Amino acid sequence: MASLDRRDFLFGAAGGVAGLGVSAGLSRRALRELRAAVRGRVTVPGGSAALVYNTRFDGRRPDAVVHVRDTADVAAAVRWANRFDVPLVARSGGHSYGGYSTTTDGVVLDLSALRGVRVSGGRATVGPAAKLIDVQRALTRHGVTVPSGSCPTVGIGGLALGGGHGLAGRRFGLTSDNLVAARVVTADGRVRHVDAGTNEDLYWACRGGGGGNFGVVTSMTLRTHRVSRAAYFFVSWPWSQASEAIAAWQRFAPHAPAALTSILSLGTTGGSGAPRVSALGQYFGGEAALRRLVRPLAAVGGAHLTTGTSGYFTMVLRWAGCLDGGLPACHRSTRSSFYAKSDYFDRPVGPRGRARMIDWIERRQGTPSLGSGALLLDAYGGALNRPAADATAFVHRDMLFSLQYLAYFGGSAAGRASRRWINGVWHALRPHVSGEAYQNYIDPDLDHWQRAYYGSNLHRLRAIKKQVDPDFRFRFRQAIPPAR
């Protein structure tokens, strides 16, 4: 992560001129004209290791990467792509679960230079590649926050465009719910301002319609919320109490006061130790009140409860996993190999479903070389469920909680085993889920993904895609297609 002072509003960055390079997919003329069209560097990498967080996608080789310097570069690259009929994908933080921050058929617009943060008048204007830890650091200096995720190196652009759930979500909503304006370069090369009164359809689509679908967002303005401190809790239970812990959490967490957001975790370490079940949460209120609220969780047999309170940026560091190391630790991006899936639940999980969760976590345990596995349940309700399903493009407004499936691994054999495991537990839970999935946990193997991600909003999203990108210039495997 760059060490820019995030108090400066710096969307541009110094660029250079790379050597001609050789592209497997572009003619020398096309590559030469691309380099002439933009001020940022144009490179032809041998792979995607510098573009993606998940090492599974390192082998993908884009035809070229444009390291854009500003919005004008993006617009110029789009106009070039129209002349040469080249597909484009945008990259902000590179964390796309499906590897859609890169491509093997087209050009990547790397937005890394667009990472400024400016806070003024109850609003934050941010570049799409601003990493969450830097956004939150800049915000907390002003005593405010925007709801976002906890991974410190995620770019805010992709997070916000697909939803953006985190530990302030039940209080303040999704990141996309707090998007009040954006600057978007559409497929015709035009730079458009979008908000509730200008380009209203495109604004609607940007609030949960998924990153990279409707154009390249080069700036976003977000509503901020005044915060100074918050309370937190951690609770763990013996593995023998896992079913009771899940039952208690799902009765409590989606129906708790909106000031409290909670996550339940069932997981393994990949070694010989016992599986673990635990929950954590953040509360915008006092520690004593929080302890009273979480009594239903502490009442499960063998529960071990810890609570505390801190300044808000210290809380951000805690959830980012770098409380001890501080900002330098948050700035280090450790790349990983993993598979992921997601589901939503619109009704509580009964004893049979809970038994299947427990069984599949136990199957993941006991082989150190296999890697770790986890099931993470994020509570909904509160501000997350308050808007109508069609108020924004994000349709999942009547859910109790989401489930994220994760399988981390090392070598290729462990990768095959991890894929079998994650597919196995996902199939085992089919009778218990709603049929919807979270578009920010995008899953390349998911059938019927259009309905799972976008539900009743799909028809309008496809119509908007036809308006702003009729030739499908911005496309990847799970990009929303234009209406016919």
Domain ranges in the chain are 28-110, 117-226+457-468, 229-436
pLDDT, residue 11, reads 25
pLDDT, residue 419, reads 95
Model confidence band, residue 269 (pLDDT cutoffs 50, 70, 90): confident
pTM: 0.93
CATH pick for 117-226+457-468 out of 3.30.413.10, 3.40.50.1970, 3.30.465.10, 3.40.50.300: 3.30.465.10
Residue corresponding to tokens 């996550």: 263
Q: Work out whether strand 123-126 and strand 216-223 pair parallel, antiparallel, or are unpaired.
A: antiparallel
Model confidence band, residue 84 (pLDDT cutoffs 50, 70, 90): very high
CB 409, CB 367: distance < 8 Å = no
pLDDT, residue 326, reads 84
CB 107, CB 64: distance < 8 Å = yes
Q: Work out whether strand 88-91 and strand 107-110 pair parallel, antiparallel, or are unpaired.
A: parallel
CA 307 from chain centre, in angstroms, equals 27
CATH pick for 229-436 out of 3.30.160.150, 3.40.462.20, 3.50.50.60, 3.30.230.10: 3.40.462.20
Q: Is 384 helix (H, G, I), strand (E, B) or coil?
A: helix
| pLDDT tens digits, one per residue of 164-206 | 999 999 999 999 999 999 999 999 999 999 999 999 999 999 9
Burial level of 247, CB count in 10 A (0-12/13-18/19+)? middle
Cα–Cα nearest to 410, from 372, 371, 375: 371
In the structure encoding, which two tokens stand for residue 365, read together? 């345990």
Calculated CA dihedral for residues 317, 322, 328, 330, nearest 10 degrees: -70
| pLDDT tens digits, one per residue of 109-160 | 999 999 999 999 999 999 999 999 999 999 999 999 999 999 999 999 999 9
CA distance 262 to 264: 7
> Radius of gyration over alpha carbons of the chain, in Å?
22
CB 109, CB 71: distance < 8 Å = no
Equal fold, 28-110 vs 117-226+457-468: no
CATH T-level fold of 28-110: 3.30.43
